Structure 1
Amino acid sequence: MIPVRGYQDRKVGVLGLGRSGMATAHALRAGGAEPICWDDSPDRRAEAEADGFAIADLTKDASWSGIAALIVSPGIPHLYPTPHPAVTLAQSHGAVVDNDVGLFFRSFATEEWDMMENPPRVVAVTGSNGKSTVTALIHHILKETGRMVQMGGNIGRGVLSLDPGEDGEVFVLELSSYQIELARALTPDIGVFTNLSPDHLDRHGGMGGYFAAKRRLFAEGGPSRAVIGVDQPEGRFLAAQLRERESDGDPVIRISNGKLTGDGWHVFARKGWLAEWRRGRQVASFDMRDFRGLPGAHNHQNACAAYAVCRSLGLNPRDVEAAISRFPGLRHRCQIVGEKNGVRFVNDSKATNADAAEQALRAFSNIHWIAGGVAKEGGIAPLLPLLDRVKKTYLIGEAAEAFAATLRDTPHEICGTMVAAVDAAQKAAIPGDVILLAPACASFDQFTSFEARGEAFEALVANILAAK
């Protein structure tokens, strides 16, 4: 755990008592603060109270006497669409409003670092799609090459649950727009921006607010190196803002799913090959087409981002290539979970919007596509041009009827449940086909999370693989 600094002997409100909230409460107590906890869930309040934490209703004015700050969990709105009542009260009482990421960056560096030859470094990864894979891949490469590394944030452990940094260690953090937007301190050594697509727009007041939240990691965080995906206007804008000069010392490494030119530092994927260019010359390249853990062009771009970070940390190209080739893939992200009678089963439950589902559809052909859940704005209309890759679509969840209307005369079946969809797809599939779960939807109509949805798919596939 990383004890929180700066609030010793002071009361600090903790709003939200899930994974990050409880980690925050423990880290505050370890740093000498007095956490005052609240969650709208009675069960979570009871668990925190059993763990020795004080509980007070932070939505009531009377609870705010002497509280210096309010630490807000990522899922709780602090501005749009409507601030949580506790946030409004904190502001009216003049309390600081922050989150665990802000506390991490203000508490991470300690006096012991003065004695270290290579103080710990922080890599922070953000973007709409791919950030979990990039984070996990960087962590994998560093472990494979013998570097000390910890991973946390929006994946794995909460940032304040991580262990204090050691000499030469690297911390790899996945940070969502929710986490970046509210953090009062942001000081990563390397920042990564993968891409931007419409998501969480109600929480950010539209695309402009969403991009502004992501941009804070770079504009206010001031990383010494920025790895920026430039296949979209927002990435190109951000790279141009951060660039200082076209030379080997440029703080920006541009990444792309197409060839890049210029005298800067570029890493791009083209036809399954990764290439690194610096000062107008190719430095390294290798073939990723047989890397089982990274199927599809979108994963090749994820590999470019991870490669660029590891090169910035001093690793040589061949060691990075070898480590990437051994990456097993990330669960629920274009994960090949099995194969039987020439039919592959792929779990991409994390494809919770159309842009993410598009990448999965582009990665395969002869697809039996399982889609549906709680629809995002725009539904699956943007995916219609890719239906030539799909043999049939199997629709589940509350979006099934609307998606069926969008699909019109293309082959589809309203299955309703995951069980029915997997059963129908596996009966129709022939050797060479792919049964792909890429819902293009949130999961909350039938499942508690995208992980639970993916686990349900995996369990059904396991039964199919085990059957004679």
Structure 2
Amino acid sequence: MIPVRGYEGARVAVLGLGRSGLSAARAVRAGGAEPVCWDDNPAARAAAAGEGFACADLTGAGAFDGIAALIVSPGIPHLYPAPNPVVLAALEAGVPVDNDIGLFFRSLATPDWDGFVTAPRVVAVTGSNGKSTTSALIHHILQEAGRPAQLAGNIGRGVLDLEPPGEGAAVVLELSSYQTELARALTPDVAVFTNLSPDHLDRHAGLGGYFAAKRRLFAEGGPDRAVIGVDEIEGRFLAGQMAEGPADDRVIRVSSGQKLTGPGWQVFARKGFLAETRKGKQMASIDLRGISGLPGAHNHQNACAAYAACRALGLAPRVIEAALHSYPGLPHRSQVIAEAGGVTYVNDSKATNVDSAAKALGAFPRIRWICGGLEKEGGLDALKGTTGAVAKAYVIGREAAAFAMQLDVEAEVCTTMARAVERAMEEAEPGDTVLLAPAAASFDQYDNFEQRGEDFTAEVEKRLK
């Protein structure tokens, strides 16, 4: 655990008692402050009380008297589409609002660091798609290289549950826009921006607000190195803001699909090969085509971003290359779950928006596509023109018929995962990939995308026995 610093002897309110909220309450208490907790869910309050935390309704009059700060869990809106009443009460009382990410950055460094030969480093990864894979891949490379490393944030553990890092260690954080937007402290050593596509628009009042939340990691964080995907205009704009000039190698530009040139530091992938150039000279080249854990151009972009971050930490190209080949992939993200009769079965349940689904559709030559769910704002128009490899779609979800009507491929309304898997397997031919890439949220039928992916996996495995 990383004890929270700066609030010794004070009362700190904690709103939301899920994984990150309880973790924050424990760390606040460990740092010598008194947590005052609240959650609308009685079961969550009971769990907190079971750990000895005081719970108090933070919506009442005078609830913020004597409170030094309010710590908010990421799922709770603090601005758009409307602030939570507790957050609004804190703002009206002049109480600072923060989250566990802000607490982490303000509390990580200790006087012990003065005795380290090599201080710990923090790598923070944000973006629309590929955050989890890029973060996990950086963590994997560091471990394979013998560097002590921990992974947390929007993936794995809460940031305050980490052990204080020691000599030469690294912490890799996946950070969502919900987390970067509110954190009062953001000071990574290396910051990574993967890409940008429309998502969470209601929470950020549009694409501009969404990008602004991501941009805070760089503009306010002041990283020593910035790894920035430049395949969208927002990334090119961000790289331009961070760099002092074309040769400023504090910015490492990353691309998948285009060759990057110039006197700066670039890492890009074309036709399955990763290339690193610096000061106009090629420094390394890696063949990504045979790496089973990183299929498709979107994963090649993730590989470029992870490679660049690890190079910024001083790792040699050959060390990174060896680690790429041993990367097993993440569950629910282009995860090969079975191969039988010449058919490959891939679970990409994390493809919860149209952009991530489009990238998955470009990774395989002939696809039986299982899609559908709770449609996100913006519709499915962005999928048009990306479905050339789809032999047929099998649509799930409560609104499967309406979803299917928007697709530009042959589609069968299946509604349930069981029926979709059954029909896809019946019609699949050798060389086909049965791909779950929903292009939608899971909440109409499942608690989360993980549960949806597990259902897909179970249905495939049941029929292969």
Match of 1:436 in 2: 435
User: Match for residue 113 of structure 2?
Assistant: 113
Partner residue in 2 for 1:195: 195
The residue number in structure 2 matching 1:463 is: 462
CA displacement 1:63-85 (0-9 Å, x = unmatched) = 32211110000000000000000
What is the SS of the residue equivalent to 1:387? Answer: coil
Deviations 1:115-138 (A, max 9, x none): 111111100000000010000000
CA contact (8 A) 1:152 1:174 kept: yes
Matches of 1:246 and 1:269, distance apart in 2: 20
| Contact 1:366–1:433 (8 Å) recurs in 2 | yes
Q: Secondary structure at the match of 2:104?
A: helix
The answer on whether the counterparts of 1:228 and 1:254 sit within 8 Å (CA) in structure 2 is yes
Task: Work out the CA distance in 2 between the residues paired with 1:245 and 1:114.
Answer: 33
* 1:17-28 superposed matches below 5 A: 17-28=17-28
Q: CA deviation at 1:382?
A: 1.7
The alpha carbon displacement at 1:379 in A equals: 2.5
Q: Report what 1:411 is aligned to.
A: 410
What's the TM-score, normalizing by structure 2?
A: 0.98
Q: Which residue is 1:355 aligned to?
A: 355
- Name structure 1 gaps, 5 residues minimum: none
RMSD of aligned Cα (Å): 1.0
Query: What is the CA–CA distance in structure 2 between the aligned matches of 1:407 and 1:332, rounded to whole Å?
Result: 23
For 1:266, the equivalent position in structure 2 comes to: 266
Aligned length: 464
Aligned pairs for 1:40-439 (under 5 A) are: 40-247=40-247, 250-257=249-256, 258-407=258-407, 410-439=409-438
> C-alpha distance in 2, partners of 1:59/1:456?
39
Question: 1:1-60: CA deviations, max 9, x gaps?
Answer: 000001111111100011100100000000011101111111111111111100011122
Task: Summarize deviations over 1:428-448 as a string: whole Å, max 9, x none.
Answer: 101111100000000001100
Contact 1:379 1:403 in 2 (8 A): no
Aligned-partner Cα distance in 2 for 1:395–1:311 = 42
TM-superposed CA distance for 1:388, in Å, is 2.3
- The residue that corresponds to 1:451 in the other structure is 450
Cα drift, residue 407 of structure 1: 2.5
- Mapped contact 2:329–2:335 kept (Cα < 8 A): yes
1:355 Cα offset (Å): 0.1
Q: Aligned partners of 2:272 and 2:279: how far apart in 1?
A: 23
CA distance in 2: counterparts of 1:128 and 1:59, whole angstroms: 33
CA distance in 1, matches of 2:38, 2:9: 19
Alignment TM-score, normalising by the size of structure 1: 0.98
Moved more, 391-400 or 71-80: 391-400
Shift of 1:403: 1.6
Cα distance in 2 for partners of 1:243, 1:63 equals 45
Task: Output the CA distance in 1 between the equivalents of 2:60 and 2:340.
Answer: 58
Superposed displacement of residue 365, structure 1: 2.1
Question: 1:244 touches 1:250 (CA, 8 Å); kept in 2?
Answer: no
AA partner of residue 180 (structure 1): T
Task: Output the amino acid matched with 1:186.
Answer: L
Q: Distance in 2 between matches of 1:461 and 1:208?
A: 41
1:250 maps to a residue whose letter is D
Q: Secondary structure at the match of 1:47?
A: helix
Secondary structure class of the residue paired with 2:165? coil
Equivalents in 2 of 1:227, 1:216: separation in Å? 14
In structure 2, stretches of 5+ residues that fail to align are none
How many angstroms does 1:423 deviate by? 0.8
What letter corresponds to residue 443 of structure 1 in structure 2? S
Please give the alpha-carbon distance, in whole angstroms, between the structure 1 residues aligned to 2:212 and 2:94.
25
Deviation, 1:405, is 1.6
Structure 2: how far apart are the matches of 1:362 and 1:399? 25
Residue 12 (str. 1) matches residue 12 (str. 2): yes
1-side partners of 2:407 and 2:183: how far apart? 42
Question: Residues of 2 paired with 1:254 and 1:303: CA distance?
Answer: 13
Q: CA deviation at 1:450?
A: 0.6
Moved over 4 A (4+): none
Does the 8 Å contact 2:64/2:95 carry over to 1?
Answer: no
- How far apart, in 1, do the equivalents of 2:213 and 2:361 lie? 29
- Aligned partners of 1:143 and 1:149 also within 8 Å: yes
Residues 379 and 440 in structure 1, CA contact (< 8 A), matched pair in contact too: no
Question: What is the DSSP-based 3-state SS (H/G/I as helix, E as strand, rest coil) of the residue aligned with 1:250?
Answer: coil
Do 2:361 and 2:386's aligned partners in 1 also have CA atoms closer than 8 Å?
Answer: yes
The secondary structure found in structure 2 opposite 1:253 is: strand
Alpha-carbon separation, structure 1, partners of 2:366 and 2:439: 18
SS in 2 for 1:344: strand
SS in 1 for 2:387: helix
- Aligned partners of 1:29, 1:208: CA distance in 2, in Å? 37
Note if contact 2:246-2:264 (Cα within 8 Å) is conserved in structure 1: yes
Structure 2 counterpart SS, 1:456: helix
> Residue type matched to 2:333 in 1?
R
